Structures are given as C-alpha cells and as structure tokens.
Amino acid sequence: MVELTIDELAQRAGTKTSTIRMYQTRGLLPGPVLQGRVGFYDESHLSRLRMISRLQDRGYSLAAIKDLVDGWDHGANLADVLGLIRLGEPAEITAEDLAAIFPAGAELDPALAKRAMALGLLEIDGSTGAMRSASARFLKVGKELASHGVPAEVALDQYEALAADTRRIADRFVDLFEQHVLPDGVPSPDELAAQAEVIARFQRLAAEAVQELLTLALTDAARTAIARRVGTVSR
C-alpha cells in the first residue's frame, strides 16, 4: 500500500496542505493513519481529493460535495442522495411473529439467527435487545412459508439463492444503464438532478420487466410440475 505524507499527497493531488486539512475538518476527507507522530495517507485519499476537484470544476459547492461524500461513505444513504427507489421498511419482530415462523414453543435457534443477521434479514437492537426484520414484506413471506411447513433453514437457503440471482440481474441492468443511458464524465448539479429522475424511472422499468418474466416463468414451471404429478398419479 502506498504511504504518503501530507506534503506528498498535496503534491500528487495538485493542491495545498492547508486545503487537505480544511477538507478533513469539514469531513470531506478521512484522516491519516498515524505512525508515531507522522500521519500517512494512501491512494484512497488521493482518489477522494481528485473526485472533490472534479466536482468543484462541475460547479458543486463544498456543502453539496459533503452531502454526496456522506452518501458514498454510508451506503445506506446513497439511495437518498440519488433519488433511488427503496422498497421495504424495517419491521419490529414480535413474539407472535417468532411463534409463526418457528415451531410452537421453540426458541430462536442461535445459528439461524446469526445466519439471518449475516444475510441482512434480522437486526437486533444492542441497547434494547428488540429484534427487527429488514423488511415487513420479508417478514410476511417468512410467516407464509412457515405456515405451509417450510423449515426456516430452507427458507433462508432460498432467500440467499434469490439474493444472488437478483444481484446478477441488477448488475446486468446497471451495466446496460451505464453503457447506453448515462453520459460520460462527472455531472453538474443540474445534470445530477435530471439523471436521478432517469435512474428512478429506469429502476421501475427493470423491476417491472423482472416481475413480468418471473410471473411467466413461475406459471410455466407450476404447470410443468402439476402435469408431472398428474402423469405420475395416473400411471
């Protein structure tokens, strides 16, 4: 890993050490790693400085850049910055919810709970111990599957596989969007606002296309499964 003093960083970024310190004070740039009394920076600091410079050249104020940087540093806020659609609100899990998902009288399996948290489905409040589901929709699906006899570990298997499948689909749509819709270069503030609207529309189109194709595929697969079972029974 490249280690740079503040003077070396300023020289490579084409800026002043006072500017770097000002960016750190304003929260635009992370601080250095201290080794004794000397602070060292790396390529990530250089990339951030170059990004700030490009955004300023496009007319962004430091306050606007700070908003963007905060979004990029805390991925959960990026959707808000870009105006993306976020589906699913967290929902608190009650004792009744647990009873519906897990066998009557059974306690929450620590291994299952750990896996659900790793998948982002379950959150535990460190101060109160209360449990929350990442999405009320996911909670509803889990309860419905359990009511039909699907074990919790099997439901988690399906969720993990589905998450991987949908991520691959999302990556393809994003590649398509970047190659054919988004212009090259850093957008100006006005362009970013316009692009945010386009991104939101594109997100809806992608979701509608996937939903339509999934519905058709499920219908076809269900017909095939029923025909197979009917054929087996009739023999």
21-65, pLDDT tens digit by residue? 999 999 999 999 988 888 999 988 998 898 888 888 877 788 888
Four-residue CA torsion sign, 221, 222, 225, 230:
negative
Model confidence band, residue 105 (pLDDT cutoffs 50, 70, 90): very low
- Fold classification of 6-82 (topology level): Multidrug-efflux Transporter Regulator; Chain: A; Domain 2 (1.10.1660)
Q: Is the overall model pTM greater than 0.75, yes or no?
A: no
For residue 207, the number of C-alpha atoms closer than 13 Å in the C-beta half-sphere is 10
Rounded Cα distance between 21 and 33, Å, is 14
Residue 5: predicted pLDDT: 93
- Per domain, the residue ranges of the chain are 6-82, 84-157, 181-235
> Model confidence over 71-103: pLDDT tens digits?
666 654 445 555 555 555 677 877 677 777 766
Q: Identify any residues that bridge with 40 across adjacent strands, giving them in sequence order.
A: 33
CA pair distance 166, 35, nearest whole angstrom:
43
Question: Which one-letter DSSP state was computed for residue 228?
Answer: H
Amino acid at 123: E
Quote the DSSP letter at residue 187: P
